[in-house]
Amino acid sequence: MNGDIFMWKLKQKVWDIKAEFSEFTESDISEISNKEQLIGKLQEKYWYAKEEALKKADEFAKKYM
């Protein structure tokens, strides 16, 4: 998915993100501007390995985007 499109859709889905990833604060969400940053935040907040964080990001994208 194009980075700009991902960013736009991500910003529209703030409440979905908060529901799916309850450890994220609004500040965390505001720092996410692409898929790689989402993966990084998942690793930071949930201690996921990169592969698991990628899987969770892809599942989120399929479910909400």
The C-alpha atoms of residue 40 and residue 18 are separated, in whole angstroms, by 16
Count CB neighbours of 11 within 10 A.
13
Amino acid identity for residue 36 in this structure: E
d(CA 3, CA 33): 8
pLDDT of residue 52: 97
Q: What one-character DSSP code corresponds to residue 24?
A: -
**Please, what are the domains in the chain?**
3-64 (1.10.1470.10)
pLDDT tens for each residue of the chain, 65 residues long: 566 776 677 667 778 888 889 999 989 988 887 889 999 999 999 999 999 999 999 998 888 77
Going by C-alpha positions, the residue among 63, 9, 6 that lies closest to residue 35 is 6
What is the predicted pLDDT for the residue at 1? 57
Contact 33, 9 (CB under 8 A): no
